[in-house]
Amino acid sequence: MHREQTGAAGDEPPVGPLAGFTVGVTAARRADELGALLRRRGAEVMHAPALRIVPLADDSELLAATKQLIDSAPDVVVATTAIGFRGWIEAADGWGLGDALLDRLRGVRLLARGPKVRGAIRAAGLTEEWYPASESMAEVLERLLEEGVEGHRIAVQLHGEPLPGFVESLRAGGAEVVGVPVYRWMPPEDIGPVDRLLDATVARALDAVTFTSAPAAASLLDRAERRGMRAELVDALRHDVLPACVGPVTALPLEAHDIPTSQPERFRLGPLVQLLTAELPGRVRPLPVAGRRLEIRGHAVVVDGELRTVPPAGMALLRALARRPGWVVARSELLRSLPGAGRDEHAVETAMARLRTALGSPKLIQTVVKRGYRLALDPSADTKYAGP
Rounded Cα gap, residues 61 and 46, in angstroms? 36
Give residue 268's pLDDT: 84
Give residue 9's pLDDT: 40
Based on the fold, state whether residues 312 and 329 are members of the same structural domain.
Answer: yes
Nearest C-alpha neighbor of 208 from the set 62, 45, 73, 57: 45
Q: How far is CA 45 from CA 57, 71, 83, 263, 310, in A?
A: 33, 49, 25, 19, 18
Strand, coil or helix: 279: helix
Instruction: Mark which of 127, 154, 185 sits at the end of a domain.
Output: 185
Rounded Cα gap, residues 322 and 320, in angstroms? 6
Based on the fold, state whether residues 131 and 211 are members of the same structural domain.
Answer: no
Based on the fold, state whether residues 87 and 118 are members of the same structural domain.
Answer: yes
Confidence of residue 163 (pLDDT cuts 50, 70, 90): low
What residue type is assigned to position 120 of the chain? Answer: A
- Give mean pLDDT, residues 99-121: 94
Give residue 10's pLDDT: 43
Q: How far is CA 382 from CA 7, 13, 338, 379, 386, in A?
A: 27, 29, 29, 8, 8
Based on the fold, state whether residues 170 and 115 are members of the same structural domain.
Answer: yes
- Give mean pLDDT, residues 231-245: 96
Give residue 164's pLDDT: 57
Highest mean pLDDT among 157-166, 211-220, 237-246: 237-246
Based on the fold, state whether residues 211 and 245 are members of the same structural domain.
Answer: yes
Based on the fold, state whether residues 238 and 336 are members of the same structural domain.
Answer: no
Name which of 35-44, 59-68, 122-131, 273-282 the model is least confident about: 59-68
Give residue 341's pLDDT: 60
Give residue 47's pLDDT: 96
Name the residue range of residue 231's domain.
Answer: 22-51+189-282
Residue 295 phi, psi dihedral angles, 5° rounding: -120, 120
Based on the fold, state whether residues 321 and 366 are members of the same structural domain.
Answer: yes
Rounded Cα gap, residues 191 and 181, in angstroms? 25
Instruction: Mark which of 261, 282, 303 sits at the end of a domain.
Output: 282
Whether pLDDT at 185 is above 80 = no
Whichever domain contains 148, its CATH number is 3.40.50.10090
Strand, coil or helix: 142: helix
The answer to whether 310 touches 31, Cβ cutoff 8 Å, is no
Give residue 107's pLDDT: 92
Confidence of residue 186 (pLDDT cuts 50, 70, 90): confident
Nearest C-alpha neighbor of 20 from the set 33, 39, 6: 39
Name which of 135-139, 142-146, 177-181, 362-366 the model is least confident about: 135-139
What is the side-by-side strand order in the sheet with 22-25? 44-47, 22-25, 208-211, 242-245
Whether pLDDT at 24 is above 70 = yes
Whether pLDDT at 87 is above 80 = yes
Based on the fold, state whether residues 103 and 197 are members of the same structural domain.
Answer: no
Angle between helices 269-282 and 31-40 (to 10 degrees): 40
Based on the fold, state whether residues 233 and 155 are members of the same structural domain.
Answer: no
Give residue 284's pLDDT: 86
Q: Mean pLDDT score of the chain, rounded to an integer?
A: 87
The answer to whether 331 touches 337, Cβ cutoff 8 Å, is no
Confidence of residue 168 (pLDDT cuts 50, 70, 90): confident
Give residue 337's pLDDT: 85
- How many structural domains does the chain have? 3
Instruction: Mark which of 165, 185, 205 sits at the end of a domain.
Output: 185
Q: Does residue 8 form part of some domain?
A: no
For 287-344, what is each residue's pLDDT tens digit? Answer: 899 888 999 998 889 999 889 988 888 898 998 999 888 899 998 888 888 876 666 7
Based on the fold, state whether residues 180 and 278 are members of the same structural domain.
Answer: no
What is the chain's percent helix, strand, coil content, to nearest 5? 45, 20, 40
**What is the pTM for the complete model shown?**
0.72
Q: Does residue 1 form part of some domain?
A: no
Highest mean pLDDT among 89-93, 135-139, 231-235, 364-368: 231-235
Q: What is the DSSP string of 192-250?
A: HHHHHHHHHHHTT--SEEEESSHHHHHHHHHHHHHTT-HHHHHHHHHHTSEEEESSHHH
Q: Does residue 4 form part of some domain?
A: no
Q: Does residue 221 form part of some domain?
A: yes
Nearest C-alpha neighbor of 187 from the set 152, 160, 158: 160
Give residue 8's pLDDT: 40
Rounded Cα gap, residues 41 and 275, in angstroms? 12
45-58: b (≥16 Cβ within 10 Å) or e:
bbebbbbebeebbe
Whether pLDDT at 212 is above 70 = yes
Based on the fold, state whether residues 73 and 158 are members of the same structural domain.
Answer: yes
More confident site: 147 or 248: 147
- Give mean pLDDT, residues 58-85: 90
Whichever domain contains 292, its CATH number is 1.10.10.10
Q: Does residue 301 form part of some domain?
A: yes
Q: Does residue 12 form part of some domain?
A: no
Q: Does residue 162 form part of some domain?
A: yes
Q: Does residue 65 form part of some domain?
A: yes
67, burial (CB in 10 Å: exposed 0-12, middle 13-18, buried 19+): middle
Ramachandran bin of 96, using left for φ above 0, alpha for ψ from -120 to 50, beta for the remaining angles: left
Give residue 103's pLDDT: 96
Based on the fold, state whether residues 146 and 213 are members of the same structural domain.
Answer: no
